[in-house]
């Protein structure tokens, strides 16, 4: 198993209309993107080349949207119940990692 290309904890993961976790994890490793709960249970995963990721039209700079297996998720980076100054940077690094690993921005 190789080093993760991207890993962020404390991520709020939502699937409209409800929040799935307020302190989840986003992991890109071995060409696969995985959304995990705070307990490490997989919410959803897919090969990065089949993922669409981008920024939402309405939201903060900390937010990113991702479509996995036909399901859209909203990710709020760097906020596990509170705002952190690295949230916008984490969201940008996540989108860059998806692009580098072969996914598309949408």
Note the pLDDT of residue 89. 83
How many CA atoms, within 13 angstroms, populate the side-chain half-sphere of residue 77?
Answer: 26
Note the pLDDT of residue 81. 47
Q: All domains of the chain, ordered by start, with CATH?
A: 6-105 (2.30.29.30)
For 27-64, the pLDDT digits (tens) are: 999 999 999 999 999 999 999 999 999 998 888 888 99
84 pLDDT band (50/70/90 cuts)? Answer: low
80 pLDDT band (50/70/90 cuts)? Answer: low
- Residue entry with tokens 């991207």: 6
Closest CA to 33 of 5, 12, 61, 13: 5
Q: Write out the H or E segment, with its range, that includes residue 88.
A: helix 87-101
In angstroms, the CA 87 to CA 101 distance is 21
Number of Cβ atoms within 10 Å of the Cβ of 92: 15
Contacts of 41 by beta carbon, 8 Å cutoff, 6+ apart: none
Share of residues in the chain with pLDDT > 90 (%): 60
Q: What is the mean pLDDT of residues 23-28?
A: 94
Note the pLDDT of residue 105. 57
Distances (CA, A) of 88 to 43, 76, 84: 23, 9, 9
In angstroms, the CA 19 to CA 76 distance is 11
pLDDT higher than threshold 60 for residue 23: yes
């Amino acid at each position: 198993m190789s080093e993760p290309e991207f890993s962020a904890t404390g991520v709020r993961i939502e699937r409209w209309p409800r929040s799935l976790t307020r302190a989840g994890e986003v992991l890109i490793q071995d060409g696969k993107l995985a959304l995990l709960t705070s307990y490490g249970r997989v919410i959803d995963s897919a090969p990065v080349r089949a993922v669409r990721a981008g920024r939402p039209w309405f939201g903060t700079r900390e937010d990113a949207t991702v479509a996995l297996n036909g399901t859209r998720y909203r990710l709020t980076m760097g906020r596990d119940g509170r705002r952190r100054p690295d949230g916008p940077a984490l969201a940008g690094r996540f989108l860059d990692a998806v692009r580098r690993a072969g996914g598309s921005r949408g």
